[in-house]
Homo-oligomer: A and B are copies of this chain.
């Protein structure tokens, strides 16, 4: 297959390197990724600044392109300008740290894959649930086999958000198809004072763990399963229509002087 590989930790991050190494044995892999870390950028795109493109080599081998933009920028410019439309999948990751629950909204990793889905491709986002000294060996091995298993499946236009526990292979309990946990975070802003006497805040947050339903991504991952959530880019909240039908808002009721 011909695969577009991107991420949000930057083109030199260990997670994308491990996945590249696992995929290049069987596939053509073109990397188009941010030149530096662009975590938590969500679905940002760059409109007010020009994008620049650097060709990157690994040793004497062409590896791909580094972009001074967001993960979503990378997928767009890759397909529209750099490598053409003839690819089989858009793959994002492996991210350092899980992208589950409300975090999915903030994830550059998932947004890059979503961009692939918008353009009609098979699209996969891989994240490893580890921040400290992550070992991408198992995750990249799993990812590469999983990608092969999708070759003939009809999942074009859907993004699969895949989160892998940071456990030794024999401790992984299985694979679960999940839905996104939409419980809000416990958000925290840690207030500090800089050496010049000015106040600043560090933003942190954690997912609320009580009452996690059986079928959500956060719980599957916590219990040692690989979590796979199908993600879509239609943000319309269809259940609201039933309620809104009775709204009877009419432009003539507004005084529009």
Contacts and interface: CB of A to CB of B under 8 A. Distances in A.
Contacts of A237: 158-159, 230-232
A235 B232 contact: yes
Interface string A34-48: 000101111111111
Interface string A123-154: 00000000000000010011001100100011
A85 to B, nearest CB: 11
A77 interface: yes
A207 interface: no
A73 B47 CA distance: 20
B235 A184 contact: no
B240 A230 contact: yes
**Chain A contact residues: over half helix, strand or loop, or mixed?**
mixed
28 contacts: A39-B48, A40-B47, A40-B48, A41-B41, A46-B203, A50-B202, A51-B189, A52-B198, A52-B199, A52-B201, A73-B203, A76-B203, A77-B189, A77-B201, A81-B191, A102-B118, A102-B233, A104-B235, A105-B114, A138-B256, A141-B255, A155-B240, A158-B240, A170-B256, A179-B234, A179-B238, A226-B251, A231-B235
Interface of A: 37, 39-48, 50-53, 72-73, 76-77, 80-81, 102, 104-106, 111, 114, 118-120, 138, 141-142, 145-146, 149, 153-155, 158-159, 169-170, 172-175, 177, 179-180, 182, 184, 187-189, 191-192, 198-204, 226, 228-238, 240-241, 243-245, 247, 249-251, 254-257
